[in-house]
Amino acid sequence: MKRIHLFFPMGFFIAAIFTAAFSADVLYADQMMWMSEEKAQDAVGLLRGASFIRSFCAPCGDEHSEMVIIESIESVSTGRKQFWEVLINGEAVDLAYTYFRQDGKWVNLAYKLNFVPYENPIYLDAF
């Protein structure tokens, strides 16, 4: 009977363990930054009349939201296949951590567009 030996260098196992151990926090980043053109335009439409948004990342350990004054807003192609992103003041924003005022509440923009962000609330408490 012939034995089959699988050889993986030790570096492979170390890299796999390192990746598994330290990637959990990284996974929170960039949840809803790239999307379809339609969703990006919908997001811009929802924010079009807003003067400011709030940024809040519960999985990142944020204790308070941060106010961002909107000077400009647009949806742009990422240049990667069919993906688009939303720019506020020239910077890409993650819709999972973006809140806007609607009907007297701070609503998560990603939820409003039918995305489901990881561990971020749908509404922010009054700030």
Residue 13 in any domain: the answer is no
Range of the domain at 106: 31-124
- What pLDDT, on the 0 to 100 scale, is given for residue 115? 93
pLDDT digits over 60-72, tens only?
899 999 999 999 9
Residue 18 in any domain: the answer is no
Chain centroid, CA 1 distance in Å: 53
Q: How many domains does the chain have?
A: 1
How many Å apart are CA 115 and CA 122, to the nearest integer? Answer: 11
How many Å apart are CA 113 and CA 34, to the nearest integer? Answer: 13
Residue 7 in any domain: the answer is no
- What pLDDT, on the 0 to 100 scale, is given for residue 28? 45
Residue 9 in any domain: the answer is no
Q: What is the mean pLDDT of residues 32-44?
A: 96
Q: What is the mean pLDDT of residues 7-22?
A: 49
Residue 109 in any domain: the answer is yes
Q: What is the mean pLDDT of residues 73-84?
A: 94
Among residues of the chain, what percentage have pLDDT more than 70? 75
Residue 22 in any domain: the answer is no
How many Å apart are CA 114 and CA 39, to the nearest integer? Answer: 9
